[in-house]
């Protein structure tokens, strides 16, 4: 029960973090509509996590040029469109990336292929 509570608290804290934005904010940032952002979430084109209050929350950093084009291939390699799983993969340190998170590695210029190979290995 304690593990479940700590996991639930982590999710609440993560959704309240400063880098999480609403679908309306994401639409404005991407120059599109909330309907399109919701479709992107459903199709693994972007990361969205269910907001208990309403809709989704999205990490702002995914719209950065080093991350944005990677999301759909990454979702395919991981075999999921689940926002929590995609975000957990991108934000978890990986030994195969010299202890960097996949997000940090991509932002620092690590080859996309290396991150996708890691994602494929994680999915199996």
pTM: 0.88
pLDDT at position 3, please? 57
| Strand bridging mode 56-59 / 20-22 | antiparallel
- Res. 4: pLDDT tops 60: no
Average of pLDDT values for 31-45? 94
Pure H helices in 43-111: 71-78, 83-91, 102-107
> 7: pLDDT confidence band, cut at 50, 70 and 90?
confident
Digit-coded pLDDT (tens) for 47-94: 999 876 678 999 999 999 999 999 999 999 999 999 999 999 999 999
């Amino acid at each position: 029960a304690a593990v479940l509570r700590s996991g639930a608290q982590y999710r609440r804290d993560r959704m309240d973090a400063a880098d999480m934005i609403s679908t309306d904010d994401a639409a404005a940032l991407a120059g599109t509509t909330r309907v399109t952002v919701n479709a992107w979430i459903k199709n693994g084109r972007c990361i969205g996590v269910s907001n208990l209050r309403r809709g989704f929350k999205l990490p702002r950093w995914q719209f950065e040029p080093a991350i944005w084009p990677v999301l759909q291939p990454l979702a395919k390699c991981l075999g999921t469109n689940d926002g929590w799983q995609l975000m957990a993969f991108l934000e978890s340190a990986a030994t195969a990336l010299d202890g960097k998170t996949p997000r940090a590695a991509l932002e620092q210029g690590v080859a996309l292929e290396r991150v996708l190979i890691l994602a494929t290995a994680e999915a199996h």
